Amino acid sequence: MKPLIYALVLVVCVVTLDIDLGYALRCFGCQSTTGYRNNCEVKANVNTTHILQCQSGYTTCMTLKMRTNITRSCAVRDVCHRYRNATGFRSCSTCYTDLCNGTGRGTASSTGAALGLIISALAVVGKIAITR
């Protein structure tokens, strides 16, 4: 019975850690002209890109291409709708997890990590219960 209690405590702790009170989204931030290998178009380049802690109300990460410029930043939810009809608009995308607006590489969200830990804990509990 003790392993079951320990596993449940672990699950509660993991779930509690994932409740982000006062949590701020983090996004890659940069702005540059497209077509250069060292700019933020090619990848989330450490020389030209920094990590932004998004302010209240900025709930998405954005990648916006206008004419020959690219911008990665924190943004409001419907930001792409504001630019779609603008002169020079090329593309706009948004995402909702930490550092998701880098190019060509995803990042695991804290929710995904917590879910993985919960599943692992439940598997251990199930294995203990089966062996008894």
Give one DSSP letter per residue of 33-90, joined into a string.
ETT-TTSTTTS--TTT-EEEEPPTT--EEEEEEETTEEEEEEE-TTHHHHHTTSTTEE
Strands 69-75, 26-33: pairing is antiparallel
Strands 89-95, 26-33: pairing is unpaired
Tally the domains of the chain. 1
Range of the domain at 44: 2-131
Per-residue pLDDT at 76: 96
3-class DSSP state for residue 104? coil
Per-residue pLDDT at 108: 40
Q: What is the pLDDT of residues 55-92, one digit of tens each?
A: 999 999 999 999 989 999 999 999 999 999 999 999 99
CATH number at residue 114: 2.10.60.10
Q: For the chain, 132 residues long, give each residue's pLDDT as a single digit of tens.
A: 566 555 444 444 444 444 445 679 999 999 888 876 667 776 556 566 789 999 999 999 999 999 989 999 999 999 999 999 999 999 999 999 999 998 654 444 444 444 444 555 555 555 655 655
